[in-house]
């Protein structure tokens, strides 16, 4: 093999097989920001094209889930909601959980779902997971609006007392986005090669929901299972929702420290793994 | 000296055959084990040329092997080769869709690649929305697209439908719109895979014209893969010829095309057919070979080349009225013309049929042969027919017709 020395500096792009682990081109990502906006717009617009109820579907689905949960877990199984209105208790959990599980599922399948487009054109692959997280944020926003309507109603009839902590909501949502994206990115890299994981992820997310105080308050967890909640980074976020909006449960600012650190670490790891996978996945997908 | 904008050094690409995804954990572990000890990847050592038709010994093949080339600014490069020669793999590597197994490519300037038309088009979105989406996917900023929007719409010729969802488009309109977006990209390097196969002749012409403008008028670099040799010849000034993943020829387009046509254009198609001897037949066609006038085997003829068809015959009947029916059929097996000759010999002999050059239009034909005694019986009628392909390399500009129109070049006199 001939060995030639080429000065790397005079070229714009070098295509090669060896990359350092931290070789992430954020400048390029920034260049493609318009694409991100257009993808998000596409996702949002195309969902309700040619449907009769249109954007109303964003409301109907969480509303039905809330009612189902209220009936099954609240009325039949009679799980504790710590004396808060059942419907608002479940809605707080479900709205947040939906966002997490939707993001995680879509991000972890991002390579398989977009193999067609990834195989034909190059753009920074990280745009796709970002699109998913932001598109879902829009859907979450709509559902959150519904939640806020209920909060206002129940506050007016003096059933609940939201407090000043609600101002921290954007931060908590951001943590949720980062964590779901981080975990999703790590999984996405594995699902490209071992498709069995796709089956496992759906099941795993369901299990994870029961290990997270979505449909029950953490105070209802027996002492010998408490360690599960201690490790779960999402616990603080769900406890926050209930504490800030409904005024139940225990919460303080320290509960957000662990999720914050966790989100940064997991996202960092996720991006590294994703970045490594995106270079070769076309040959293995 | 012109500026080098793409420089490829020792590019190789390995693929794994068979069902990727099963049993790879074992190989992964092995790779990892070698890597940990600082050894070379064990699966990269197997150097087997990528020949689709012969069964190899290894599950790993080299789709590209040790490719080196340089491309100057403003060149338009035609990449030619048979199916599976590695053309698309090379384009994919250049477009950064996949990365090379070994080697490096240095590029200067923005690369826009059109490996497929309409990548990322969403059926529910309108034409206008899709222009923006597609443009952004191809790396344009929103304001760049907005600035070129009118030009794109005008070029596509679908003004009337621009606010209709593209799922209502005909496939032709779809392609028109998609190509229009890609053609108006502001990139220094444009990579185009075989995308012009769709769309009507009029639009194909428009596309080629646009690509010509891009390379010659705007000084941008174009890489073009096509099996339409005529288009390649018109559009490109340089060529890369790939064969089994190796770069065979790198030079100006004429020499590349010649090298391709003479050596590599086809192997499914042989320069002849032999038939098994059947003693029960009283007369039989044994062999058909295509040659040029110097007696060399030919696979494809240029349109101006003389065609010599060597037919080996066996005959046991004399003066019974047996004859050879020689015909040229079009690709649908309609008879273009027929010619007959009595079998005036016994034993085995070889006849040569000579067709003058510049007679048949470049197209695919078949040679139909039969032996019969008229109105009595058919002696031999082989079903497997020899293919005769004639390619247009002289730049006729389709004056005499093309593969869809016309059969013969008629030497017409025009006068006033």
pLDDT single digits (tens) A138-159: 889 888 988 899 899 988 988 7
Instruction: Judge whether residue A4 has pLDDT over 70.
Output: no
The rounded distance, in Å, linking the Cα atoms of B127 and B118 is 11
Dig out the tokens for B137 from the structure. Answer: 């996917």
Tens of pLDDT, residue by residue over A217-242, are: 888 888 888 888 888 889 889 988 88
Instruction: Judge whether residue A262 has pLDDT over 90.
Output: yes
CB contact under 8 A, A2 and B101: no
Question: Which chain B residue shows the shortest CA-CA distance from A123?
Answer: B137
CB contact under 8 A, B20 and A17: no
Dig out the tokens for A171 from the structure. Answer: 């931060």
Nearest by CB: B99 against A12, A15, A34: A15
CB B87 within 8 A of CB B80: yes
Nearest by CB: B15 against A2, A35, A283: A283
List CB contacts of A7: < 8 A, sequence separation 6 or more. Answer: none
Residues of B in contact with A117 (CB under 8 A): 119-120, 137
Nearest by CB: A42 against B24, B102, B122: B122
Q: By C-alpha distance, which of A99, A81, A101 is closest to A242?
A: A81
Dig out the tokens for B46 from the structure. Answer: 């197997």
Nearest by CB: B132 against A4, A14, A38: A38
The pLDDT assigned to A268 comes to: 93
Ramachandran angles phi, psi of B280, nearest 5°: -70, -20
Please give the helix or strand (H or E) that residue B255 lies within, else none: helix B253-259
Q: By C-alpha distance, which of B193, B161, B189, B191 is closest to B177?
A: B161
Question: Which chain A residue shows the shortest CA-CA distance from B102?
Answer: A17
Instruction: Judge whether residue A165 has pLDDT over 80.
Output: yes
List CB contacts of A113: < 8 A, sequence separation 6 or more. Answer: A106
In this prediction the ipTM stands at: 0.82
Dig out the tokens for B362 from the structure. Answer: 């470049």
CB contact under 8 A, B107 and A34: no
Residue A8 touches chain B, beta carbons under 8 Å: yes
Which residue's entry shows tokens 């909501």?
A169
CB contact under 8 A, B124 and A49: yes
Question: Which chain A residue shows the shortest CA-CA distance from B101?
Answer: A17
The pLDDT assigned to B21 comes to: 46
CB contact under 8 A, B97 and A282: yes
The rounded distance, in Å, linking the Cα atoms of A143 and A121 is 34
DSSP A114-130: THHHHTT--S-TTHHHH
Alpha-carbon distance B18 to nearest alpha carbon in chain A (angstroms): 11
| CB within 8 Å of chain B, chain A residues 108-147 | 116-123
CB atoms within 10 A of CB B274: 12
The pLDDT assigned to B169 comes to: 87
CB contact under 8 A, A121 and B95: yes
Burial-class residue B382 by CB neighbours within 10 Å (0-12, 13-18, 19+).
middle
CB contact under 8 A, B137 and A1: no
Please give the helix or strand (H or E) that residue B235 lies within, else none: helix B229-235
The rounded distance, in Å, linking the Cα atoms of A58 and B17 is 45
Q: Are strands B272-274 and B246-252 parallel, antiparallel or unpaired?
A: unpaired
Question: Which chain B residue shows the shortest CA-CA distance from A5?
Answer: B9
Alpha-carbon distance A270 to nearest alpha carbon in chain B (angstroms): 21
CB B3 within 8 A of CB B73: yes
Residue-range domain boundaries for chain A: 24-42+52-284
CB contact under 8 A, A16 and B122: no
The pLDDT assigned to B149 comes to: 92
The β-bridge partners of B363 are B390
The rounded distance, in Å, linking the Cα atoms of A135 and B287 is 67
Residues of A in contact with B16 (CB under 8 A): 283
The pLDDT assigned to B1 comes to: 47
Question: Which chain B residue shows the shortest CA-CA distance from A15?
Answer: B105
Instruction: Provide the sign of the torsion angle of the four alpha carbons A68, A74, A79, A82, taken in this order.
Output: positive
Domains with residue ranges and CATH for chain B: 4-264 (3.40.50.300), 272-391 (2.70.50.60)
Dig out the tokens for B192 from the structure. Answer: 């185009």
Nearest by CB: A16 against B100, B119, B137: B100
Residues of B in contact with A2 (CB under 8 A): 10, 68
Nearest by CB: B106 against A6, A194, A282: A6
As a whole number of Å, the end-to-end CA separation of chain A is: 31
What proportion of chain A, given as a percentage, has pLDDT over 90?
25
The pLDDT assigned to B294 comes to: 84
Residues of A in contact with B96 (CB under 8 A): 13, 15, 122
CB atoms within 10 A of CB A257: 11
Residues of A in contact with B136 (CB under 8 A): 32, 34-35, 38
Using pLDDT thresholds of 50, 70 and 90, give the confidence band for residue A285.
Answer: low
CB contact under 8 A, A123 and B94: no
The β-bridge partners of B348 are B314
Residues of B in contact with A116 (CB under 8 A): 119
The rounded distance, in Å, linking the Cα atoms of A68 and A236 is 25
Question: Which chain A residue shows the shortest CA-CA distance from B145?
Answer: A34
Q: Which residues of chain B have a pLDDT value below 50?
A: 1, 20-22, 46, 267
CB B216 within 8 A of CB B376: no
Nearest by CB: B102 against A17, A32, A121: A17
**A141-178 residues labelled b (16+ CB within 10 A) or e (exposed):** eebbebbeebbeebbeeeebebeebeeeeeebbebbbb
């Amino acid at each position: 093999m001939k060995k030639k020395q080429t000065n790397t500096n005079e070229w714009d792009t070098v295509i090669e097989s060896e990359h350092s682990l931290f070789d992430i081109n954020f400048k390029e990502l920034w260049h493609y920001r318009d694409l991100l906006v257009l993808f998000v717009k596409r996702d949002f617009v195309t969902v309700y094209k040619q449907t009769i109820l249109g954007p109303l579907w964003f409301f109907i689905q969480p509303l039905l889930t809330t009612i189902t949960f209220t009936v099954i877990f609240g009325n039949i199984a009679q799980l504790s909601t710590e004396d808060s209105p059942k419907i608002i208790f479940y809605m707080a959990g479900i709205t947040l959980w939906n966002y997490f599980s939707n993001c995680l599922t879509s991000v972890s399948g991002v390579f398989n779902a977009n193999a067609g487009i990834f195989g034909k054109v190059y753009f920074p692959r990280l745009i796709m997971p970002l699109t998913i997280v932001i598109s879902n944020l829009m859907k979450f926003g709509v559902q959150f609006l519904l939640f806020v309507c209920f909060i206002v109603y129940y506050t007016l009839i003096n059933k609940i007392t939201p407090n000043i902590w609600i101002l921290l909501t954007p931060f908590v949502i951001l943590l949720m986005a980062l964590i779901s994206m981080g975990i999703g990115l790590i999984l996405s890299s594995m699902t490209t090669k071992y498709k069995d994981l796709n089956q496992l992820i759906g099941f795993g997310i369901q299990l994870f929901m029961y290990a997270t105080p979505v449909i029950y308050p953490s105070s209802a967890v027996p002492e010998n299972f408490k360690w599960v909640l201690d490790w779960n980074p999402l616990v603080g976020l769900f406890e926050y929702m209930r504490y800030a909006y409904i005024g139940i449960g225990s919460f303080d600012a320290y509960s957000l420290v662990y999720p914050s650190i966790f989100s940064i670490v997991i996202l960092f790891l996720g991006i590294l793994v994703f970045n490594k996978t995106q270079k070769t996945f076309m040959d293995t997908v | 000296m012109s500026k080098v904008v793409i420089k490829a050094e020792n590019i190789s690409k390995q693929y794994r055959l068979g069902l990727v995804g099963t049993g790879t954990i074992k190989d992964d572990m092995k790779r990892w084990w070698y890597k940990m000890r600082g050894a070379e990847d064990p699966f990269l050592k197997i150097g087997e040329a990528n020949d689709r038709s012969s069964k190899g010994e290894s599950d790993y093949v080299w789709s590209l092997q040790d490719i080196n080339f340089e491309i100057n600014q403003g060149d338009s490069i035609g990449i030619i080769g048979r199916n599976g020669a590695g053309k698309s793999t090379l384009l994919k590597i250049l477009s950064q869709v996949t990365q090379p197994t070994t080697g490096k490519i240095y590029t200067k300037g923005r690369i826009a690649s059109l490996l497929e038309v309409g990548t990322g088009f969403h059926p529910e979105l309108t034409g206008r929305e899709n222009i923006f989406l597609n443009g952004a996917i191809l790396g344009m900023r929103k304001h760049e697209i907005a600035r070129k929007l009118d030009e794109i719409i005008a070029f596509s010729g679908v003004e009337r439908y621009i606010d209709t969802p593209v799922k209502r488009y005909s496939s032709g309109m779809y392609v028109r719109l998609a190509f229009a977006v890609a053609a108006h990209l502001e990139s220094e390097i444009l990579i185009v895979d075989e995308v012009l196969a769709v769309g009507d002749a009029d639009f194909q012409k428009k596309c080629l014209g646009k690509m010509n403008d891009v390379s010659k008028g705007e000084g941008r670099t174009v890489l073009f893969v096509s099996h339409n040799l005529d288009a390649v010849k018109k559009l490109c000034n340089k060529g890369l010829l790939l064969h089994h993943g190796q770069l065979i020829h790198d030079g100006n387009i004429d020499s590349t095309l010649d090298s391709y046509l003479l050596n590599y254009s086809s192997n499914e198609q042989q320069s002849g057919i032999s038939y098994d001897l059947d003693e029960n037949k009283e007369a039989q066609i044994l062999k058909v070979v295509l040659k040029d006038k110097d007696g060399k085997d030919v696979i494809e003829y240029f349109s101006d080349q003389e065609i010599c068809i060597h037919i080996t015959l066996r005959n046991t009947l004399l003066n019974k009225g047996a004859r050879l029916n020689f015909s040229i059929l079009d690709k649908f097996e309609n008879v273009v013309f027929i010619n007959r000759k009595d079998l005036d010999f016994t034993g085995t002999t070889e006849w040569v049929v000579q067709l003058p050059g510049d007679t048949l239009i470049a197209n695919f034909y078949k040679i139909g042969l039969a032996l019969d005694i008229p109105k009595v019986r058919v002696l031999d009628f082989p079903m497997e027919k020899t293919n005769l392909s004639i390619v247009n390399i002289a730049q006729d500009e389709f004056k005499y017709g093309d593969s869809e129109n016309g059969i013969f070049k008629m030497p017409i006199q025009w006068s006033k």
